[in-house]
Amino acid sequence: MRFAHVVLPESDDPQLVAATSPGHVTPVAALFEGAPRTLQALIDGGDDLLARVREAVGGADGIPVDGLVFGPAVAEPPVVLAVGLNYAAHSSELGLKADTAPTVFVLWPNSLSGHEGTTSWPRSLSESVDYESELGVVIGTATKNVTAETALSHVWGYTVVNDITARDIQFSEAQWSRCKSFDGFTPNGPFVVTADEVADPQDLHIWAVVDGQTVQDASTGQMIRPVAALISHLSQSATLLPGTLISTGSPGGAGYSRDPQIFLRDRSTVTVGIDGIGELTTHCRVID
């Protein structure tokens, strides 16, 4: 199944919808009394609630998705954990070492934004803003001290993430959270796809297009540390709570490393995508 948050005509705030027929969605809250209005509430309800929603959606007609405004697919996770330097090509092009352990940092909640949204930032703060297409992993059950062999059983679903980054700030500070956590710098969605629809998270085509030019074109199979290994590693030091979003790193092709460099400009449009999961578009505005 596929779930998103959209602003419905009769409401002001995004609420949970399920994809039905192509181009149509159904508000989950309307399916039955007490049905969840957010993805986090659905995840917290466990397998039984998901099964009930799945059964109820089967008989729903749905409404056209055209014209609806998307919120972040993962809108209120307990935490967003991002993994850097998880593709050899990307770590090499940035001139950074992929160390013996993953590079992990936290993204701030103000950075979460939705499909077809506009992300803006002051020119005075950065003129070196870059794109990064990434596979997002959503944890479904409390996960502690799991092995790589069992880690994927704790995954609720997958989504697309654009880990937008102010490169000049990234290379001027010892930590990476601020340079990647401007308002709107973590678009995700449009949908979260439940784990049963992704047979192998290491066999997915991942790509990015900036202003009509394909700039990233790779496979998640090129990860240095696969999804299962990342979950296992992270779960050793902290319990991964249901709803946690893990952004698993970006392949090669970042704008910073290109000659000439490609950075997101005023009125740029960037689309990052993963085959079988979705395409996520962000519009950019630079404020003088």
Distance CA 209, CA 189 (A): 16
Can you read off the two tokens belonging to residue 137? 């992993």
Tell me: pLDDT of 144 over 90.
yes
Distance CA 154, CA 143 (A): 7
Q: What does the pLDDT read at residue 60?
A: 75
The secondary structure of the chain as a DSSP string is -EEEEEE-TT-SS-EEEEE-STTEEEEGGGTSTT--SSHHHHHHTHHHHHHHHHHHHTT---EE-TTPEE--SS-S-S-EEEEES-BHHHHHHTT----SS-EEEEE-GGGEE-TTEEEEEETTT-S-EE--EEEEEEE-S-B-S--HHHHGGGEEEEEEEE--EEHHHHTTSS-STGGG-STT-EEB-S-EEEGGG-S-TTS-EEEEEETTEEEEEEEGGGBSS-HHHHHHHHHHHS-B-TT-EEE----S--GGGSSS-----TT-EEEEEETTTEEEEEEEEEE-
Length of the chain: 288
pLDDT in tens, 69-105: 999 999 999 999 999 989 987 666 676 666 678 899 9
Q: Please state the pTM of the whole predicted model.
A: 0.96
Q: What does the pLDDT read at residue 91?
A: 63
Pick the CATH number of 80-287 from 3.40.50.2300, 3.30.830.10, 3.90.850.10, 3.30.70.260: 3.90.850.10
Name which residue leads in pLDDT, 224 or 90: 224
Distance CA 129, CA 121 (A): 9
Tell me: pLDDT of 260 over 90.
yes
| 211-239 mean pLDDT | 97
Tell me: pLDDT of 204 over 70.
yes
Spell out a b/e string for 47-56, using b for 16 or more CB atoms within 10 Å of the CB, else e. Answer: eebbeebeeb
Express as a percent the part of the chain with pLDDT over 90: 90
Quote the mean pLDDT of the chain. 95
Distance CA 75, CA 245 (A): 10
Contact 93, 254 (CB under 8 A): yes
As annotated, the residues of the chain forming the CATH 3.90.850.10 domain(s) are 80-287
Those residues with Cβ within 8 angstroms of residue 192's Cβ, 6 or more apart along the chain or in another chain = 2, 3, 4, 39, 73, 74, 138, 156, 157, 158, 159
Express as a percent the part of the chain with pLDDT over 70: 96
Give the position of tokens 């970006």. 250
Where residue 9 falls among pLDDT bands split at 50, 70, 90? confident
A 10 A CB-CB count for 247 gives 27
CA geometry: angle 91, 78, 151, nearest 5 deg: 60
Dihedral of alpha carbons 207, 141, 104, 152, sign = negative
Distance CA 210, CA 254 (A): 11
pLDDT in tens, 34-70: 999 999 999 999 999 999 999 999 867 799 999 999 9
Where residue 120 falls among pLDDT bands split at 50, 70, 90? very high
